[in-house]
Amino acid sequence: MKKLLFNVIFLILLGSMLFSAPHNGDFFQLLQPDGNRVSVKVWGDEYYQTVEGLDGYTLIREDDSGWICYARVSDDGMDYLSTGLRYTIYQPEEQTEFASMRKETNYAFAKHARISIDSVKKKIAVRKAVLNQTADDESLNRSLNASTILAAPPVLDITGTRVGVTVLIDFPDVKSSIPRNEIINFLNQTGYSNYDNNGSVKDYFYEVSNQRLNYTNSVTEFVTVSKNKSYYDSGSNYPHVTELMYEALDLVKASGFDFSGISTENGSFVALNFLYAGTPDAGWGNGLWPHMGTKDGRYTIDGIRVRTYQMSNIGRNLAIGTFCHESGHLICHWDDLYAYDDHDGGIGAYGVMCINSDKNPQLPNPYFRYLANWISFDDIANDPNGTQYSLEQNGNNPLRYSPGGNEYYVIENRQRNGRSAVLPDSGLLIWHIYTEGDNKYSQYTNMVSVVQADNRFDLEKRANKGGPGDLFHAGSNDRFNDNTSPNAHWYNGSNSGMDIANISSEGSVMTFTLGDGPTIEPTPSPSPTPTPLTSGNIMVRARGTLGGENLEVVIDGTVTQSWILTTDYQNYFANGNGVIEVQFTNDDSLANGMDAQVDYIVYNDVTYQAEDQNVNTAVYIDGACGGSYSELLECNGYIRFDTSSTPTAHPVLLGDVNSDGTIDIVDALLIAQYYVGFNPENFNAVAADVNCDNVLDIVDSLLIAQYYVSLINSFC
């Protein structure tokens, strides 16, 4: 039974369509020559990948034998060499043998070994040459870089109707478990929600284009190619991809499929998609790894050339994120907004063309939407000082600060709901645009960047994919000009003159002024919201279930500070001494299900856990309000914190994520939920970090699953 549950969690985590770009330590299963699968972590995209085992050691697939083995870096730092030691982490009986073999060899192993950046660049150049053959038509050479962009309308008009073609491929030995009708709905059905997707591919583009693009796909019947899947899904640099494509297209043509309604551009198909049964098994950006590429145009259908295409696996769990990212390339001619050569993290999780969400892909950045003629900008550079502005959340009305030239700033209000539900932060998102830039290579200035309000430059440092503190709002960073940190300079270091001031609190409507105008009142909220403190002798860590909940600190019966909660845990501060109560005051006043959760408070440098307190008048137990020993505030009421004595320390049981005293598959699933953007209840982040690397990711979930089925017996 435990083994079955272990396999189930892998199916949940691994069975979806894969991203072609980029991966940042994502979890995959690759096939060994003996038919067994091994679990690995992958960094990179279709142009270059680094692969590690779950034990942190770098891996390589041997060209001659096909075995995935532990790797070492060559003496010149330019390549990985196989040690001959096979990676078998899911066969624990071989781990003693592995340790013995390592001891007997002269290889100097190091976790997270990497070859030189110069070698990476050379390998990327080779792979790009393989995937992108020389283009000879205008559509494939069009650049988003346009120095006259401000004086002209958008350079691309991606509006109206576009029809792509999607070719479905089976193999003699591997058939798709998902039927054609389901894939048709996944691509084209209005309101599609199967597999937890937020709409179909068509829905996504219709929504983010401001209802200006209707992109659908004509889907072929499944065709079965001549060779088994392993033949095509092997070898370096995608050696059998062209053969697979042309064979599948020959079969589609022979079936009488009607290509007459497919959209074309300059004599080539606009959007040619290949979806194949199963999952990619080779790894390292080889075999049938999901990718986008370009052919030389010699293959034609009814006189129309086959040029740019994308290829992905179907898997067992359809996800629109892959398709939307690649369609951004094919339909809209958008660039990737992450670094191919690993020099920075691009825009992180703030847009569909970087780190994407699989079931609910993010909005494209406003510059790309502008180029596609989906939105327009209202320019504020010449407005009078003190002009007041109001921005609705996640809307199609961003503002631009552009005195002229090829560099400017764009301002949006982004809140975590809808297409922005998985953003790392909420608030005023300020974009730095340089129309002649390029995010992919270190020798260029980035085309699109996120100005991070905390001035940590975590995206540029690849420290994360974005996080709390990135966006501007009252109580965090409510001003941005040439003298603030971060500053509003142009890339050459000169002053831009931009001054965004009096930024309001987070909300569905956010306000600010241009320069030192009159102070704007924060967005109306359920109850008056005093200006949040950023420090104090009392800190309350809390969150709301919906966002917008009102929480107060009451000291000796008097309200001293109140806040409006977000759906993520935040630290809130107050000052005072006495009997402390944390009070919830607007149960269900705005929406059904509005509750609060208090993790703990810190009072005069001592931490007091909410679940240890004997008085909680707001928890709902047995049909009534009031109880004890709970973090939850579900009724109007308060938690009274006993600060008269030092709290008893409670040891943390690693792996017991829901603090129920046991380590089981539920704990693994809670981490998996957290990893994909959910906020599960009763989630103990300290207990969840079972490999003690200060990062909560899918590896922690898998280690707990291993522990549950007795593959390992300890953590860290």
- Number of other residues whose CB lies within 10 A of the CB of residue 559: 14
Looking at the structure, do residues 375 and 463 belong to the same domain, yes or no? yes
Looking at the structure, do residues 370 and 315 belong to the same domain, yes or no? no
**DSSP 3-state assignment of 57?**
coil
Looking at the structure, do residues 323 and 178 belong to the same domain, yes or no? yes
**Is 656 among the domain residues?**
no
The per-residue pLDDT for range 220-252, each reduced to its tens digit, is 999 999 999 999 988 777 888 999 999 999 999
pLDDT-based confidence at 65, cuts 50/70/90?
A: confident
Q: Which domain holds residue 377?
A: 366-514
**Is 441 among the domain residues?**
yes
**Is 714 among the domain residues?**
no
Q: Tell whether the model's pLDDT for residue 508 goes beyond 90.
A: yes
Are 286 and 51 a contacting pair, CB within 8 Å?
A: no
**Distance of alpha carbon 31 from the chain centroid:** 26
Dist. CA 228–CA 191, nearest whole Å = 36
The per-residue pLDDT for range 541-596, each reduced to its tens digit, is 888 877 778 899 999 888 888 888 887 778 888 888 889 999 998 775 434 567 88
Q: Supply the CATH number for residue 570's domain.
A: 2.60.60.40
Task: Give the residue from 445, 434, 414 showing the smallest Cα distance to 496.
Answer: 434
**Is 344 among the domain residues?**
no
Looking at the structure, do residues 436 and 484 belong to the same domain, yes or no? yes
Looking at the structure, do residues 510 and 547 belong to the same domain, yes or no? no
Q: Tell whether the model's pLDDT for residue 60 goes beyond 50.
A: yes
CA-to-CA dists, residue 321 to 518, 525, 542, 678, angstroms:
43, 34, 32, 17
Looking at the structure, do residues 26 and 136 belong to the same domain, yes or no? no
Q: Number of structural domains, the chain?
A: 4
Of the three residues 123, 143, 164, the one that is the final residue of a domain is: 123
Are 359 and 319 a contacting pair, CB within 8 Å?
A: yes
Are 343 and 442 a contacting pair, CB within 8 Å?
A: yes
Which pLDDT value is given to residue 365?
96
**Is 499 among the domain residues?**
yes
- Run of H or E residues at 26: strand 23-31
Looking at the structure, do residues 117 and 137 belong to the same domain, yes or no? no
Of the three residues 613, 641, 669, the one that is the final residue of a domain is: 641
Are 164 and 218 a contacting pair, CB within 8 Å?
A: yes
**Is 354 among the domain residues?**
no
Looking at the structure, do residues 293 and 167 belong to the same domain, yes or no? yes
Task: Give the residue from 378, 651, 470 showing the smallest Cα distance to 659.
Answer: 651
CA-to-CA dists, residue 37 to 32, 68, 238, 303, angstroms:
6, 10, 21, 43
Of the three residues 77, 105, 123, the one that is the final residue of a domain is: 123
CA-to-CA dists, residue 471 to 177, 350, 643, angstroms:
42, 11, 35
**Is 91 among the domain residues?**
yes
Give 256's contacts (C-beta < 8 A, 6+ positions apart). none
Percentage above 90 pLDDT, the chain: 38
pTM of the predicted protein model: 0.67
Looking at the structure, do residues 39 and 11 belong to the same domain, yes or no? yes
The per-residue pLDDT for range 424-449, each reduced to its tens digit, is 999 999 999 999 898 887 778 899 99
Looking at the structure, do residues 325 and 373 belong to the same domain, yes or no? no
Looking at the structure, do residues 102 and 142 belong to the same domain, yes or no? no
**Is 478 among the domain residues?**
yes
Which residue bears the tokens 């060779």?
227
Looking at the structure, do residues 376 and 437 belong to the same domain, yes or no? yes
